[in-house]
Structure 1
Amino acid sequence: MKKLLSYFFLSVTLFSFSQQKLWKGYFSYNEITDVCISPSKVHSSTKNSVFNKDVSTNILTTFTSVNDVKPDEITAVFQTSNKYTLVGNKNGLIIIIKPDGTTLNKVDIISEVQVSANSKRINDFYEFNGKVYVSTQYGITVIKLSNFEIEVSFYIGNTGENIDVLQTTILNGEIYAVTRNQGIKKATLSNPFLYNFSQWSVFNSSNWLSIVTFNNQLAAMNTDGYTYRFLGNTPQQFSNQVASGLKLRTDNTYLTISNQWQILVYNQSFALVSIVYQIPNFPDSFTCAITKNDKLYIGTKKSGLFETTVVNPTVFTNISPNGPIEDYAFKVTKTSNDLWLTHGAYDRTYDPNYKFQGISIFNKNNGWGKIPTTELQGAVSLAAVAQNPRNLNEVFVASGHSGMLKFTNKANAFLYNQTNFLESVGWAPGYISVRINGMKYDKDGNLWLTNALVNKGIKVLKSNNTWQSFDLSTIVQSPEYVQYGNIDIDKNSTKWVATYGRGVIAFNEKYNNKYIVINQEESNLPSNDVRCVAVDNRNQLWIGTFTGLRILNSVDRFISESELTTTNIVIQEGDLAQELFYQQVIQDIKVDGSNNKWVSIADAGVFQVSPNGQTTLRRFTKDNSPLPSNNVLDIEIDEVSGEVFFATDKGLVSFLGTSTKGDDDLQNVYAYPNPVRPGYSGTVKISGLMDKVNLKITDIEGNLVFETTSSGGTVEWDTTAFGKYKVASGVYMVFVTSSDAAETTVKKIMVIR
């Protein structure tokens, strides 16, 4: 990946975390990585978030990128005695969540520990006498609780080399460390030379996974499937044999043994109290477990965190916050009432990964729900979603391998495949792969889609429920080898189809099945690997490729011309002229209600640029915004609210934008917040507007304080008089007039200082 050109950074308006109210997080809390306890709470983590439950109030609190918890990949979570939450990561980052909820990123291990970057994983935390002993992939790092600074690091391999330390504990003045392949090491805690590997001895040379201090004894889990307690130096087996051991945890009342397929709980006499083999109705494996107040908390790989009783654990309650199925957000689509999120995947060439995963659906009234895998007719690699505009109860979901699903009222899935209108690749006898990717409804209620790797690559499900296919073999070389990206449709009903390796295919059946190919050789594309296309509100076609951006200045040219040439956008920064998104991998482009373009760049976040691309309005990255990842796979815009959704490989977030689609009339104009109360520092939004209305705001005496022409359906007012000073308390009149002066409306805004 080439570095983004410097002019991007010069023109970007950086996001301030003080404006986090502009963001929402839609994270999953199902893939549990660790669990721990504090006096009043149970704390748990996923790869991308942390949450806790107050055991007395049952209040759930979440920590995600929206409130500054932006992990690499969470591997351990721990609550200190002074109520700080430590969040360990795969790359060595430690995120500290303070008691007031603010956060601090400790990068000391990343920046100061002199070992390879891929050997800094945090495995576990252990607190003793004002210090936290951090078990890591390279050894042990000691952090002082008083200021969270690193005091010392121990490299305790047999010859002083780095060694993977899985867990530590302290008993009778000695520190014990379970290592990946050199047994249990121990040393005298008061020894001032513990940084010297020669001061550590082998306590037991067998293969161990975990160690804790329980009832004034050492208990350790062995790779042989048994857990042992040590009587002096002698291990005594006491547990059942269970394969796939994970970790030991204790609340000092019970010892919990976590294995992939069993959770065992022992009392202080090392007698078995209970055993859990499976959580009813959740056929899932376990990841961790711990007890507190006679309750047992069990983390699962895909189903969340469960609470049950230590004794007779028969009733299980899922206590994870509500969220989507998983954080990997592949395609996101806003339908009339819901947000649909698919979790499939494919590679650069659109080959599917055969991922079998359900569909997550968010409703603002009911929260998250899902269509489980059992209701998908076996379809895998689910991607694009399209709602039938003439029957809002019908939603179609593309599969990169199995065809296309039709849902009625979010259920009753019907699969279109090679047995009913769609076509499979013809690679080998008996091999079936029906690859549907791009889907788009036209203004006549017909659903257009691409069927990859076959001659008849463009298909349409008409509004009368009949099918038609169009042969591309006369216009595209070897269509049986062509993979397709997304599809967009302009006002003339021309279909614009992104392809891998063939540029853009433009097609319109209303003009005698006319085709035009826009490619690198003849049309000035920087690459024939076109990742996305988007028709904007001024009938320009924006083309995102693997190596840059191109614009077709008018889609109307398709009607009268036989060849189409694209142009780049040149930005002038001082004396330097640069091409917009030069040689960047453009993953998605979406057009908002003000005709601004939202562009995601592979591993570089998201840009919002002006309608002509000359001005960068915003740039969001993981560093300057709540984006959990710079790898934004898909963008979606709610035309009614202006909310912009970013689907990433580490979760779904949204930015509460104001660029909404213009209404057809002025019947639904409203202002919010209204009234504007003391202390409010944001802007007032006037929404429900037609495009290009004239909007004036005056005080009650008729003095003009603001005037603009709308672009889209929403206008913002910063409650100042033309940006000079904050207006005083009072009632302000909003006068709205359509561009042809045929419609007018008046609204009032109350400002209270």
Structure 2
Amino acid sequence: MFFTMKQMRFILSILFILTSFYSLAQKQVWRDYFSYNNVSQLSVGDDEVFGATENAILIFNTKTSSVETISSIQGLRMQKVTALHYSEKFKKLIIGNEDGTIQVVNRINGKISFIDDIFDKNSLSPELKRINSFLEFKGELFIATNYGISVINLNNNEFLDTFFIGDQGGNEKVFQVAVVGKWIYAATEKGGLKRAEVNNPNLVDYKQWSVYDYGKWIGVCSIGEMLIGVKDDNAMYVLKLSGFESFDSLESDFRNIVRSKSHVTISSQSEAKVYSLDLKFVGEIDRSYIQSAVFLNDFVYVGVQDSGLLQFSLSNPNNPSHLTPEGPLNNRVFSLLSTENGMWMIFGGYSNSYNPHNPDLGSYGLSRYSGKKGWEHIGHDKLRGAKAMSKARLHPRNQDQLFVSSFHSGLLQIDLNESDLSRSEVGLYDSENTGSNGLEKLDPLTHGVSPDYVSVRVNGPAFDRDGTIWVTNSMVYNTLKQKMSNGDWNSYSFGNRLQDVELSSFGAPLIDRNDTKWIPSYKDGLIGFNEKKGNKVVILNSNSISGDLPDNNVRSIAIDKNNQMWIGTYKGLRILSNPDRFLNDGQLQTNSIVILQDGLAEELFYQQDISKIRVDGANNKWVAVVDAGVFLVSANGQKTIYHFTKENSPLPNNIVNDIDINEKTGEVFFATDSGVVSFIGNATEGTSGYGNVIAYPNPVRPEFLGEVKITGLLDKSNVKIADVEGNLVFESTSQGGTVVWDTYSFSGRKVNSGVYLIFISSQDGAEKTVKKLMIIR
């Protein structure tokens, strides 16, 4: 039995005299964890500096010195931003992307509008849709693209005209446009500097455009009645009555020209030069990796590739102010690790074909975020030169030891310094210091590479019940490695069962409750191994009598709370109903999940490339599908609870590399090559008692429109909520460690203001607790 009414009224009378309430901040449904270190475009207006990063807009207010961000959380659909413009007249920020999409942010009401006319134009190939720059003129926005020039109305965001100004009216790449007097000039890639009368009502006719100069102009800008521009030799010119005259040059590749009210800034990869509006040289900023620069209110603002947004004073150009918000070192996050002390982000990794050089051999540090300490980092200079990091795990018997696998350099052991993470001690295990049975580098002769090429391709780690470390070692004969607690290493090979094992790549091992190691592979299916059972090996592959997998490229595996193994492959999903059968059976078979879709039976995730599977606290499964985002399906797979994509959610990318869950809060993290976002889910891990039960937000204030969450529960807890008179208004059973309440009573109406008691009991009635909640309407 739960609580009798007499017990409830007694508890109510005791609790009612208490006046203090536990208060937690309202939690958002989505959060972002982006890096802002790569600022590619800048614009200014209304005393604000706008900077475009890979997946967000930074807004620096020069009056208050505050920084605001707008990202997919607020509704932006960030691609690769290639143009940025702020209209002071219309109070709008216009964002142009590489794929042709345009977004308009209304700075008055925060509304985000989308202009997809260019993106939706099927007659244009994707590379032609790139937006190169914007020019505002008399209430209209001229858009320079890889096909020509388009125009939109800034008042209502309507698409107006398109000008194809290439030969015979064909496509012509336009870098930038400018208006001087009665002329509109277009800097084109192949057609030189073209111009036409800006008020000509027939600009859609390519014949109205003429070549003014046959040089290759890559940037133009108007300053009053002057036209200035940059040619592909990085020389800068001004148009005078006598023609073009050179007035300066850039030392490296041109980046852009940005004009503000009082100055014009011309930047290259290594310098930003500032001129007054009569073209007098004012000053210069020298800095590597410059992508854009602009002058505003006595400062030069520079967007760089490695440090984000910087503010320079021309009187002290060697001491910039860093305006970049804190975040991870990089947005290319390959894997995640949720721990008691925060969320780790691992950068680099490898491609779908296990190539650590694609897209590049990642040389990054490590980042960790926690609510208490914020962002902390271990720089790459501390990581012994390790590259292409893939997975991280804390040692189960020593939470101050972090092990990180590198798919090029070996295995890192990091002895964490929690007082200053950047000062942690780092060691590297590789082919040089682990002995004859330890880690191995791939053989250059076998792989046709230079004899000087050294690559130790390690994935893992995983820990068995004895605290032994297990990793895979790809592209060598002895695939599986074991590091004993005494420091010795053991090697195990599947060479007698697998063909060309030296050419094979393997994922991180998963160790089940019997200490069986399950190893996903790129071309050989799923391998089960247990050294305690006489080095027993069972291989599941696409053969109908030895696993019946849909494909031999096994991408992800997870064992759920019912001891079922979910196996994600390049071409679909399979379930191994009882991995314990490995102990006694020589062959194992998997099954598909069949669901009803529109009344028809079909296989769940049929022919889909599954990159990650993660089990939540309620035994539901988060499944990442390449190019299709992430799904949350019910415990048995029969119901789709959520399907998130970059089109319908803040996901920055439809390819999700990893998923991890904060088991206490239910926060689900998604790692992509475009950054990390999280979703606040309802399913948390069930606890071993009720010592950490929290209801939030508490109090529930009038402006809160969401759901109350009760976390820290035992699995299958019974939860009842009653008012102070003992009237029951809500009842539920937890799936995992969380229950949510929409603050509606059984009558279908929102409950009134007041104090509410939350009565919680374990499934067997042995554990009980009571919490209180205040609601203010």
TM-score bracket, shorter-length normalisation: over 0.9
Give the alignment partner of residue 266 of structure 1, picking from 270, 275, 284. 275
User: Which residue is equivalent to 2:35?
Assistant: 28
Shift of 1:711: 2.3
Shift of 1:739: 2.7
Matched residue SS, 1:433: coil
Shift of 1:68: 0.7
2:539 pairs with 1:517: yes
Alignment deviations for residues 50-71 of structure 1 (CA, whole Å, 9 cap, x no partner)? 1111110112111111111112
Give the alignment partner of residue 94 of structure 1, picking from 90, 96, 102. 102
Aligned partners of 1:143 and 1:151 also within 8 Å: yes
Shift of 1:514: 2.2
User: Which residue is equivalent to 2:373?
Assistant: 366
User: Which residue is equivalent to 1:641?
Assistant: 665
The amino acid that maps onto 1:424 is K
- Structure 1 range deviating more: 77-86 or 712-721: 712-721
Alignment deviations for residues 559-603 of structure 1 (CA, whole Å, 9 cap, x no partner)? 222211111111124541111101100000001111110000010
2: CA distance, partners of 1:222 / 1:477: 57
Aligned partners of 1:294 and 1:311 also within 8 Å: no
Aligned partners of 1:731 and 1:749 also within 8 Å: yes
Give the alignment partner of residue 581 of structure 1, picking from 600, 605, 609. 605
User: Which residue is equivalent to 1:375?
Assistant: 382
2:425 pairs with 1:412: yes
Give the alignment partner of residue 682 of structure 1, picking from 706, 718, 724. 706
Aligned partners of 1:203 and 1:233 also within 8 Å: no
Matched residue SS, 1:21: coil
Shift of 1:742: 2.4
1: CA distance, partners of 2:121 / 2:408: 47
User: Which residue is equivalent to 2:134?
Assistant: 125
Normalised by the length of structure 1, the TM-score is 0.93
Aligned partners of 2:382 and 2:426 also within 8 Å: yes
2:517 pairs with 1:495: yes
Matched residue SS, 1:159: helix
Q: How does 1:398-547 map to 2 (within 5 A)?
A: 398-409=405-416, 410=421, 411-421=424-434, 422-428=439-445, 429-521=451-543, 522-547=546-571
2: CA distance, partners of 1:40 / 1:270: 23
Alignment deviations for residues 323-368 of structure 1 (CA, whole Å, 9 cap, x no partner)? 2222222112212212221221322231211222222322323332
Shift of 1:513: 2.6
Shift of 1:669: 1.5
Alignment deviations for residues 233-252 of structure 1 (CA, whole Å, 9 cap, x no partner)? 51111114423112222224
1:446–1:740 Cα change, 3 Å: farther
Aligned partners of 1:671 and 1:749 also within 8 Å: yes
User: Which residue is equivalent to 2:354?
Assistant: 350
User: Which residue is equivalent to 1:747?
Assistant: 771
2: CA distance, partners of 1:675 / 1:444: 46
The amino acid that maps onto 2:201 is P
2: CA distance, partners of 1:582 / 1:610: 17
Give the alignment partner of residue 59 of structure 1, picking from 58, 66, 71. 66
1:679–1:285 Cα change, 3 Å: closer
Matched residue SS, 1:374: helix
Aligned partners of 2:128 and 2:146 also within 8 Å: yes
Give the alignment partner of residue 386 of structure 1, picking from 385, 393, 415. 393
Alignment deviations for residues 715-744 of structure 1 (CA, whole Å, 9 cap, x no partner)? 112222347333333322222222333222
2: CA distance, partners of 1:58 / 1:485: 47
2: CA distance, partners of 1:585 / 1:685: 34
2:80 pairs with 1:84: no
Alignment deviations for residues 466-493 of structure 1 (CA, whole Å, 9 cap, x no partner)? 4332232344344323211232222222
User: Which residue is equivalent to 1:72?
Assistant: 79
Alignment deviations for residues 248-298 of structure 1 (CA, whole Å, 9 cap, x no partner)? 2222422211111222222344333222222xxxxx411111101110011
Matched residue SS, 2:652: coil
1: CA distance, partners of 2:509 / 2:636: 22
Shift of 1:28: 1.6
1: CA distance, partners of 2:29 / 2:179: 46
1: CA distance, partners of 2:275 / 2:210: 30
The amino acid that maps onto 2:295 is T
1: CA distance, partners of 2:395 / 2:101: 46
Alignment deviations for residues 355-400 of structure 1 (CA, whole Å, 9 cap, x no partner)? 2222232232333233222222221111111112222222121111
- Structure 1 range deviating more: 72-81 or 303-312: 303-312
Aligned partners of 2:216 and 2:232 also within 8 Å: yes
State the aligned residue count. Answer: 730
The amino acid that maps onto 2:428 is L
Shift of 1:608: 0.5
Matched residue SS, 2:763: coil
The amino acid that maps onto 1:98 is N
Aligned partners of 1:490 and 1:539 also within 8 Å: no
Aligned partners of 2:77 and 2:647 also within 8 Å: no
* Structure 2 stretches lacking a partner, 5+ long: 1-25, 446-450
User: Which residue is equivalent to 2:583?
Assistant: 559
Give the alignment partner of residue 228 of structure 1, picking from 219, 223, 237. 237
Aligned partners of 1:92 and 1:110 also within 8 Å: yes
Matched residue SS, 1:235: strand
2: CA distance, partners of 1:186 / 1:444: 76
Normalised by the length of structure 2, the TM-score is 0.91
2: CA distance, partners of 1:740 / 1:495: 35
User: Which residue is equivalent to 1:194?
Assistant: 203
User: Which residue is equivalent to 1:207?
Assistant: 216
User: Which residue is equivalent to 2:50?
Assistant: 43
User: Which residue is equivalent to 1:717?
Assistant: 741
Aligned partners of 2:343 and 2:369 also within 8 Å: yes
Shift of 1:193: 1.8
2:611 pairs with 1:604: no
Shift of 1:432: 1.9
Shift of 1:646: 0.7
- Structure 1 range deviating more: 612-621 or 435-444: 435-444
- Structure 1 range deviating more: 347-356 or 549-558: 347-356
The amino acid that maps onto 2:272 is I
Shift of 1:22: 0.2
Shift of 1:177: 1.2
User: Which residue is equivalent to 1:173?
Assistant: 182
User: Which residue is equivalent to 2:262?
Assistant: 253
Shift of 1:548: 0.6
Aligned partners of 2:392 and 2:460 also within 8 Å: no
1:592–1:114 Cα change, 3 Å: same
1: CA distance, partners of 2:27 / 2:84: 24
User: Which residue is equivalent to 2:169?
Assistant: 160
2:194 pairs with 1:185: yes
User: Which residue is equivalent to 1:9?
Assistant: none
Matched residue SS, 2:507: strand
Q: How does 1:655-694 map to 2 (within 5 A)?
A: 655-694=679-718
- Structure 1 range deviating more: 98-107 or 342-351: 342-351
2: CA distance, partners of 1:600 / 1:350: 18
1: CA distance, partners of 2:122 / 2:679: 37
2:297 pairs with 1:293: yes
Aligned partners of 1:135 and 1:141 also within 8 Å: yes
Alignment deviations for residues 434-491 of structure 1 (CA, whole Å, 9 cap, x no partner)? 1112322234323221111223212223344443322323443443232112322222
Shift of 1:20: 9.9
2:577 pairs with 1:570: no
Matched residue SS, 1:472: coil
How high is the sequence identity, in percent, across the aligned residues?
Answer: 41
2: CA distance, partners of 1:478 / 1:183: 56
User: Which residue is equivalent to 2:676?
Assistant: 652
Alignment deviations for residues 74-120 of structure 1 (CA, whole Å, 9 cap, x no partner)? 10110012110000011111100012222011012223584333201
The amino acid that maps onto 1:423 is E
Shift of 1:180: 1.3
Shift of 1:322: 1.7
Give the alignment partner of residue 731 of structure 1, picking from 728, 737, 755. 755
Shift of 1:652: 0.9
Shift of 1:132: 1.2
